[in-house]
Structure 1
């Protein structure tokens, strides 16, 4: 892709009139609350998982991937599966949410379907691995499927082992909250089948290089960092960092609609229908179109909450697969805000070096700083105890929520009119190097607001759903659900005009 194409901004997104005036949760009678009143089940969880080796990321006995990251009602998604040995496979689809505290609802069984072992592709140019597995099954999304994250639990009849496929069902309705899954980052860290993430490379390239390519045409292997989550086989990072927010929002009856990074990339009505945009968990890899679309949406009146860390750090253009299907391959093409002198020693070179890439702090309120990672306490900044964000929390200046900052975060706050640093403290990484995290909030131009929680671990303070494995990062760990984190989150959403409607 040419540089001029990478730098094209998307079309200007709609004016403030495009955003709903009243809370959609109230006007729609609590769609999400009604969905979560349906019978839930804990059977969405994998019971028997067996990697090929103890330290392997792959489970070749049963694995698969989807043809699309997100689909809408009426569209068809294809599943590409492989088993060893050949087996009949059943796909049980579950929508993830609260559901009486069980975390999921069974919505469909597909199969049994005959599945055979499939070839593991050789590495191509730039280490790219693209599976060309045949379509095992296709599924047309019914019109009554509520937007959400859907897991397909894969079960074989010749052995007991299981894994997942994952996809998002989006919709087109006006919604209070747009929950953006960080699926580009899921794929960037995906090592399947062995050492094939965006962080794996060939000498003399640096680990953070601009050469390695990754494809969505492969299964998600077990997640490789800071948490040993067996349920990450096939589910990306959703169950690691994003599910606790999903679970909490739906327990509170917030009106939430789900999208992928690719939907943010597409822009238009996929964004302007939302009142508050949510960047969730580990949201590191954005396209330039994503950046411009979110920036334009904030300028048009949409609020945003970056309940995440390391967000919009690397510019990663989506390009077609080698057989021409759009948006299936990406690489690390540049650093938002450009490389610092210290970062140049650790990473690059990139395609977009030398170009004036926008700084992520211009929309987030702060940015990823070096060292990138560490752990720390989320501490109320001096003079901020009476801020509306902390109303009802009882927090005082200097009071901390222990272990909530990690393992990546934001610092170096932007010079935006009205921006306030609401929390700050020192982080320490495994080499005892320190950095300063800053959580921020600033007003948008049309009565909207932008909050930067400045930690991947924010959702850990909201809920602990079934199957969650708490992380331990850089000798620090979050403590789990905390009424203060819940109240800060609901205070921000309320400031944006968004109310919950519990069942």
Structure 2
């Protein structure tokens, strides 16, 4: 199918069969450049990692077990279930909100940022959507370089930039295969020639590079269901939301979450603006929403909960029961996201918005380790 002449954007196509059956196809008509625009970066590699079409994903094999999982998955197959994969839950609502705001937008995928980082040049902001788990080292390097050149970065979810992957050519020669050995990385035949590029978690040996050096937060756990608790109601992110410090929003933290981890490499100054107590697998912890800036002036926002984009639909029934999220939560998440997108679309956030107050030591009783620290 040719998309020549189509406007750049994120599409969800619906296929209707004569017998009444329907399937969806998510499609990104990517932008050649994001100069002067906010770049929405869709998580196609993560869609494919979870895709069970043909009986195999990076999580389970034909018998449903982790031991028989695939170690490589191809884009040369449709998505299972209704075909929409994670786009309706973790991406669509954020795209719709950004488009309603009328800010200049561009569209791409993490795969395309890996292939050609020129799309990032001159971007005002890069937006990672609600479930953006699988990144190549090249994609991460390119986004980090964009941040250091002044592009703001927002992570509207949790568990972002967690799995380190390799892209390999498919039958036609293009990079159509996502490789991730995870805990079996020692069996990867490419490891001998590329010892610093294992296909396991970014934070793990033999080449540890915790995602917090970019995101400001670390993925910590699954599953949880907890209230989101505002720590600093006066922060510009929460402007016009009407919240007070200590206000909470039931069920907004889940099903996976991130937190600021002082022992991990973390840029600064970094401010925790929401600090939400939770229990995950019997252990008490917190989820954190955090914001930091870097010398280029770029600001980085991390929501710290995978339900942030789902929260944009709270109270609308657009996402089924939506974990019990209510309309009050929907209004809060919508306004906070609008604040981030508007500020980030105006250029390096440190030039127009208040500098973050580094409060990690006050919240956790110790200071962040800094970007060069080892974990």
**CA distances 1:24-66 after superposition (whole Å, capped 9, x unpaired):** xxxxxxxxxxxxxxxxxxxxxxxxxxxxxxxxxxxxxxxxxxx
Q: Residues of 2 paired with 1:208 and 1:256: CA distance?
A: 42
* 2:275 match: secondary structure: strand
In structure 1, which of residues 418, 423, 435 is the aligned counterpart of residue 269 of structure 2?
418
In terms of fraction of residues, the more helix-rich structure is 2
Structure 1 residues 462 and 293: CA distance shift in structure 2, 3 A: same
CA contact (8 A) 2:251 2:324 kept: yes
Of 131, 134, 141, the match for 1:292: 141
**Displacement of 1:170 after TM fit?**
1.3
| Structure 1 residues 332 and 269: CA distance shift in structure 2, 3 A | same
Deviation at 1:201, TM superposition (A): 4.0
Residue 187 in structure 1 maps to residue 34 in structure 2 = no
Distance 2:274 2:135 in 1: 25
Match of 1:479 in 2: 326
Please tell me whether residue 141 in structure 1 is matched to residue 10 in structure 2.
no
Q: Is the counterpart of residue 219 in structure 1 residue 67 in structure 2?
A: no
The partner residue of 1:271 within 120, 137, 143 is: 120
Q: Distance between the aligned counterparts of 2:97 and 2:238, measured in 1?
A: 19
Contact 2:39/2:126, CA 8 A, preserved across alignment:
yes
CA distance, structure 1, for counterparts of residue 266 and residue 101 of structure 2: 34
Structure 1 distance, partners of 2:240, 2:166, is 43
* CA deviation after TM superposition for structure 1 residue 439, in Å: 1.1
Deviation at 1:165, TM superposition (A): 2.2
CA distance in 1, matches of 2:162, 2:225: 19
- Assess, with a 3 A threshold, how the Cα gap between structure 1 residues 201 and 153 changes in structure 2: closer, same or farther: closer
Deviation at 1:355, TM superposition (A): 2.3
Match of 1:373, SS?
A: strand
What is the total number of aligned residue pairs between the two structures?
Answer: 327
Q: What's the counterpart of residue 27 of structure 2?
A: 167
Pair 1:388 & 2:222 matched:
no
Structure 2 Cα separation of the partners of residues 454 and 192 of structure 1 = 30
**1:196 CA drift (Å):** 1.0
The DSSP-based 3-state class of the residue aligned with 1:328 is strand
Aligned pair partner of 1:495 in 343, 348, 354: 343
CA distance in 2: counterparts of 1:467 and 1:272, whole angstroms: 38
1:326 aligned partner = 174
Candidates 205, 209, 220, aligned match of 1:358: 209
Q: 1:198 to 1:439 in 2, by over 3 A?
A: same
Distance 2:61 2:27 in 1: 28
User: Which ranges in structure 1 are unaligned for 5 or more consecutive residues?
Assistant: 1-137, 223-232, 335-346
TM-score (norm 1): 0.60
What residue number does 1:77 align with? none
Q: Decide whether aligned partners of structure 1 residues 464 and 254 sit closer, same or farther in structure 2, where only a CA change above 3 A counts.
A: farther
TM superposition shift of 1:211: 5.8
| SS of 1:245 mapped into structure 2 | helix
C-alpha distance in 2 between matches for 1:482 and 1:202: 39
Residue 265 of structure 1 aligns to a residue whose secondary structure is helix
Contact map agreement 2:272 2:291 (CA 8 A) in 1: yes
The structure having more radius of gyration, on CA atoms, is 1
Q: Which of these residues, 93, 98, 102, is aligned with residue 249 of structure 1?
A: 98
Question: How far apart in 2 are the matches of 1:403 and 1:303?
Answer: 28
**Secondary structure class of the residue paired with 1:406:** strand
Change beyond 3 A, Cα 1:471–1:456: farther
Q: CA deviation at 1:433?
A: 4.2
Cα distance in 1 for residues equivalent to 2:15 and 2:233 = 49
Find the counterpart in structure 2 of residue 376 from structure 1.
226
Superposition deviation, residue 140 in structure 1: 4.3
The 1:466–1:220 alpha-carbon spacing in structure 2 relative to 1, beyond 3 Å, is farther
Structure 2: how far apart are the matches of 1:438 and 1:466?
26
Number of the residue aligned with 1:449: 299
Question: Hey, what's the Cα distance between the residues in 2 that align with 1:423 and 1:281?
Answer: 17
| TM superposition shift of 1:202 | 8.0
